[in-house]
Amino acid sequence: MANELQEIQEKLEQVAREREAERIAAHDQAMKQLAEVRAKEEARQIAAKEAMQLAQERANKRSADKQRAEEECLREEANIRRQIEQEEDCKQASIDGILRIKESIKKRMDDLEHAEDLAKRQLRDAILQASAPMEEAHVHPLERFLQKAPQ
C-alpha cells in the first residue's frame, strides 16, 4: 500500500506539475494576447491620432484658404470701390469744368450784351447829335437847359 500511495502521490504531483505547466502556458498565452491587444490598441491610437492630426491640418488649411479668399475678395471690393470713386471724381471734375465754362460763356455773353447796349446808345447819341442843327450842336447843354427853363 505504501507503494500505491507513493504512486498516487507521484501521479498527483505529475498532475499538479501538468496543471502548473498548463496554468503557466495559459498565463503566457494570456500575456501574449494582452501584449498583442496592447500593441494593436497603441497602433490604433497612433493611427487615430495621426488621422485626427491630418484632419486638423486639412481643416486649418481650408480655414487659411478661406481666409485668404475672403481677404482677396475684400481687396477686390476695395479696388472696385476705389475705381468707382476715381471715376466719380473724374466725372465731377468734368462737370465742374463744364460749369466753369458755362459761367465763363454767360459772363462773356453778359459783357457782349452790355457792350452792344452801350454801342447802341452811343450810336443813337451820335445819330441824334449829327441830326441836330449845327448851331445847337455848339451850344452847351446847360445853356440849352437854361433857355428852356420856365420864366
Instruction: Work out the mean pLDDT of the chain and round it to a whole number.
Output: 89
Type of residue found at 110 = D
pLDDT in tens, 90-110: 999 999 999 999 999 999 999
Delimit the domains of the chain by residue range. Answer: 2-131
Report, as an integer, the average pLDDT of 132-151.
Answer: 63
- pLDDT the model gives residue 3: 85
- pLDDT the model gives residue 148: 66
Report, as an integer, the average pLDDT of 35-57.
Answer: 96
Binned at pLDDT 50, 70 and 90, residue 19 comes out as very high
List C-alpha distances in Å: 62 to 57, 66, 68, 69, 126: 9, 6, 10, 10, 94
Binned at pLDDT 50, 70 and 90, residue 83 comes out as very high
Backbone phi, then psi, for 149, in 5-degree steps?
Answer: -70, 145
- pLDDT the model gives residue 131: 75
Please say if the pLDDT value at position 139 is more than 90.
no
- pLDDT the model gives residue 126: 82
- pLDDT the model gives residue 130: 74
- pLDDT the model gives residue 61: 96
